[in-house]
Structure formats: structure tokens, C-alpha cells
């Protein structure tokens, strides 16, 4: 059986049309799956974004609390520094000329207290 040119071209066009329709159907099915997965991904992204906002609010709250604690610690350190300066400049430094007299007296008193404790306990 011989095919005429018209029959051969019709056969080629039919095969090309079938291949084109098949490729188009496969492409549309893949596109449909992709759109479905994209929708699910967008739902997950929305959930993650809301979780991220909640986490961000919690972190901001904790940072504010940490800032308050740091400020309190700074005030405490400043107060301690002022107290140390006051003791060093107003108490220890002026009294340093009397230490040579005070230490032997304190040592003598301490020894007497220890002796009294030993005599009462033994």
C-alpha cells in the first residue's frame, strides 16, 4: 500500500497533533500539581509568619526586661562605686595615720576574746 503525499502529510500532522496534545496535557497536569503545592506552601508560609510575629513579640518583651535589668545593674554598680569611693576617701585614707596604733590594739583584743572562748569551752 502506497501513501500519497497528502496522506503522508495528514499522517505526520496527526502524529504531531497527538504529540502536541499529549505534551500539553502533561504540562497542564504538572502545572495543576505545582499550583496545588504552591497553595499549600503559601498556607505554611502564612502560619510560619504568624509564628514569627509571636516569637518576635516575645523576644521584644524579653529584651525590654533585660534592658531594665541591665539598667538596674548599672545603677547598682554606680552606687557601689560611689560607696567605695566614699569609704576610701573619707574613712580609710584619713584614718590611715592611726592604723599603726589601732592594729596592735585590735590584735590584742582579738587574742583576749579567743583566750576567753578557750577557757570557757575547755
Residue 117 pLDDT = 86
List, for residues 48-99, the tens digit of each pLDDT value: 999 999 999 999 999 999 989 999 999 999 999 999 998 888 888 887 787 7
Residue 122 pLDDT = 56
- SS3 assignment, position 1: coil
Query: What does each C-alpha distance from 82 to 28, 70, 91 come to in angstroms?
Result: 78, 18, 13
d(CA 50, CA 52) in angstroms, rounded, equals 5
- When the pLDDT of each residue in the chain is averaged and rounded to a whole number, the result is 90
C-alpha cell at 3: 501513501
Nearest 5°: phi and psi at 4? -80, 170
Q: Are 25 and 17 in contact (CB under 8 A)?
A: no
Does residue 103 carry a pLDDT above 70? yes
Amino acid at each position: 500500500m502506497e501513501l500519497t503525499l497528502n496522506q503522508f502529510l495528514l499522517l505526520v500532522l496527526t502524529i504531531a497533533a497527538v504529540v502536541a496534545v499529549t505534551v500539553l496535557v502533561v504540562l497542564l497536569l504538572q502545572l495543576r500539581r505545582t499550583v496545588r503545592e504552591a497553595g499549600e506552601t503559601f498556607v505554611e508560609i502564612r502560619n510560619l509568619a504568624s509564628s514569627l510575629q509571636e516569637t518576635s513579640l516575645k523576644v521584644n518583651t524579653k529584651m525590654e526586661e533585660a534592658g531594665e535589668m541591665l539598667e538596674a545593674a548599672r545603677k547598682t554598680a554606680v552606687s557601689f562605686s560611689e560607696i567605695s569611693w566614699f569609704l576610701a576617701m573619707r574613712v580609710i585614707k584619713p584614718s590611715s595615720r592611726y592604723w599603726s596604733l589601732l592594729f596592735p590594739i585590735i590584735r590584742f583584743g582579738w587574742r583576749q576574746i579567743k583566750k576567753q572562748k578557750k577557757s570557757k569551752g575547755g
